[in-house]
Chains A and B, each alone.
Chain A
């Protein structure tokens, strides 16, 4: 049986089709989920895609966090449902308190779109098990508010517990503390990532196919389980 991965569309989501494509290329079945529908329709995992949900008004992710679908996702995630938040999805996960910290305006104050080198710091999450810890990958990054911040204690805790999932290499594109590009919750089923692995799944359209590992990881976990 193929794993079914839900991709949520909020008003203003942009990379929802891309996330669905990545899920499909990884070999799973993408399922479109709607922000106003609290049912997850029995999916085995969820991707919160990039974009500007609610126009980033108020704060990035602050309004989407209160949508009916998020209520279900928050409770299911606490029960172990694999959830990957990419870019705006990461912001929503922080606003939902599924992940600690916050994403703030890039330190240079400009939107930035570039092919970004990352180091995968742990393969112990639902979304990174296809990688080796220490593996370097290149995937697109595109954000205006991608600077990861948290207080020092939280940052120390994330490091100590091995919850820093990926770090920026060569250039910190947005002023993130400790070059953090992605983190996970303590259980490792919820991952937030600022760069966009769903844009690096085909040689034709991406700088690499390095991003596919995030989607095959969850598949491996689900099919193996």
Chain B
């Protein structure tokens, strides 16, 4: 049964309003709740809450708001620890639960940032799915009172050479560009990862950063009896109905019905007007509460605003401006039409509010008011169609303790370490391995993708991809800035989700620190398979626990994020893929440290310990197509120490380049630093290490830095005083990467290998 049929069937029943049934037991009243994604017990719970048969509109609201996507019903019990274990942080101004977390970055500025998924829509319709993913996260940031200043996109696709990747990737990339470029937001980073596990379930995550003054923070709550509810932005259409319940909260069937109508369609021009209009409204202090309309549309906005406020709201649904006059009230409540916001405005300020909307050609309509009751009441041409306690819709949905079981295959997987695989021994073999690794799609130059994004607009981009983190200047007078990096490694998480999640955090944290910024806070997008699979739930629980524990040690609280379950086609789930975004602050962006070796003669130092850690590595993947063993060890205290050294090195002007070591190990870090800076390097590997291990191990807690000769002693003394291992491994020189005693590769050859894969496959 399609959604259209469901809604039509409800139309025909002619009972949008009240039924005369009294208190009821376990009846279903023939309502199509299963088709709307509700389980039997969930439906019964609604009947119990209301003590009667829900109206079709109420059923529509509960079904979308109690969907996995909106209610976090399977994840809530695990997500709680992000709050419970949160390290004490003076920086946190607004925590989990609002549209996005807000962090104090000093000088009266606050920064809000969040990463979200738009995975399912992007597989069904890559362009619009990815485009509206940007639109949604930007409105979340805007709703906090901030001007959005940058976006980033962590992306994961199936095998680079798979035919369907050629359908999905170009569509996703042009959707992100088409929407983000038109909004005027610089795209400053992200990730592009290929793995067959994402073939039927690509991950399209989107992060947005916004900046405001402390006093500009706005919250999503409806308070003040008599205040008016204003819906503004685009007209409501029939797109995206059931997006959260049907698309994002179910597993894809191999041959199920087409789900394209459940994907929203974006209009970035409308969103740009909405941004400017909203910021002007904020500047004149015209709103008491605000919420964007995203997943679950008006159902979500009205119930959340009312639930977080005093509790009562009355809405006349027939006042909602429509794109399609034939829409039924249930459809209006469920529609996920984009580019809409809902504001709570005092009566005396409504006129000015509407004037500003008119200036920006934004349609604004008073659709209701805050009442002194505790019910959300919705009317349709005078007839009451909804009468519910808003908390039961928005905040008191079902919570599940899903069964958890460590997968039976986990032990065998962990026993099959990549350390046992045949290794390159000679210089020629090492050279071939380096070219294979650096020429693999995952480590290849991503400029074919990132050149489709505007990284310059707004004029405050200090660092953008392929740097370790994106960096934005916040204040043009003082040079205060923020840096953001996102990282995730599904392969490590598959081997051990607890450690894998910590490695993702450690890498993002390190990436922020290499630029010279001090990591402050975390956002996460937790991409997993079906929560109804106990093995997946175990992965999820372990990843959450790992992340929460690590945030505690690093002193970086999780400020918000998003869970995406059901990234699974049939029985095959994706690798567990928590994507972690870290935000840092830098007092003076002119002190930022880029990754490239820009000056010949500078000394190259390796910081941290290299162990024989090859399981889950890029080398094991590219050369042996192997995944097994245990991921690299995490030492969070070491990560803290490394970050302190990198930040001090930047602040005191000792370091001219710094690059973190992660995928592809030292070998890839050197390739990237050389290519970025346009200079070669002569490297002498540490004697105590096997050359192969030195080059390709992916031990965490490491970075390479280039320091001027005059600063070498000061820098290495600082490392020794702080007990951070430091080894001089070479010098920036020439136009080749030379590993002395092993091999030499010219920069031209490296560049050719590194830039070939993506342009070859997609250009």
Using CB atoms and an 8 Å cutoff, list the residues of chain A in contact with chain B.
11-12, 14-15, 17-18, 21, 50-52, 54-57, 108, 110-114, 140, 142, 144, 196, 198-199, 202, 204-206
Contacts and interface: CB of A to CB of B under 8 A. Distances in A.
A21 B476 CA distance: 10
B269 A12 contact: yes
Interface string B440-465: 00000000001111111111111000
A143 B177 CA distance: 11
A118 to B, nearest CB: 16
B682 interface: no
10 contacts: A12-B182, A52-B269, A55-B182, A56-B182, A110-B177, A142-B181, A199-B457, A205-B460, A205-B462, A205-B473
B292 interface: no
Contacts of B183: 14
Given A52-B181, A55-B267, A113-B451, A17 B174 contact: no
A142 B454 CA distance: 7
A198 B459 contact: yes
B190 interface: no
Interface in B419-456: 450-456
B361 A11 contact: yes
B268 interface: yes
A140 B269 CA distance: 23
Contact of B181 (A54, A111, A205): A111
Contacts of A12: 182, 269, 272-273
Nearest to B453: A113
A194 B567 CA distance: 42
A206 B453 CA distance: 16
A15 B183 CA distance: 11
A112 B272 CA distance: 21
A113 B454 contact: yes
Contacts of B269: 11-12, 52, 54-57
Contacts of A57: 269
B589 interface: yes
Nearest to A203: B590
A18 B182 contact: no
B451 to A, nearest CB: 5
A11 B459 contact: no
B459 A113 contact: no
Nearest to A142: B454
A196 B273 CA distance: 23
B171 to A, nearest CB: 12
Given A12-B269, A18-B459, A112 B182 contact: no
Most buried by B among A114, A142, A202, A206: A142
Contact of A52 (B268, B451, B476, B590): B268
Contacts of B361: 11
A190 to B, nearest CB: 24
Given A11-B269, A205-B473, A199 B452 contact: no
A199 B459 contact: yes
B677 interface: no
Closest 10 CB pairs of A and B: A55-B269, A14-B184, A18-B459, A199-B456, A52-B182, A140-B456, A111-B452, A142-B454, A111-B177, A113-B454
B210 interface: no
A12 B182 CA distance: 8
Most buried by B among A51, A56, A57, A112: A51
A70 B213 CA distance: 35
B268 A17 contact: no
A11 B273 CA distance: 7
Given A11-B273, A12-B272, A55-B182, A112 B452 contact: yes
B68 to A, nearest CB: 34
A69 B183 CA distance: 23
Contacts of A204: 462, 473, 589-590
Contacts of A112: 451-452
A161 to B, nearest CB: 32
Given A11-B273, A113-B453, A17 B182 contact: no
Given A12-B272, A52-B268, A111-B174, A21 B459 contact: yes
Contacts of B457: 14-15, 18, 50, 142, 199
A140 B458 CA distance: 13
Given A111-B174, A111-B178, A205-B461, 6 more contacts: A18-B456, A50-B457, A56-B182, A112-B451, A142-B181, A204-B589
A144 B451 CA distance: 11
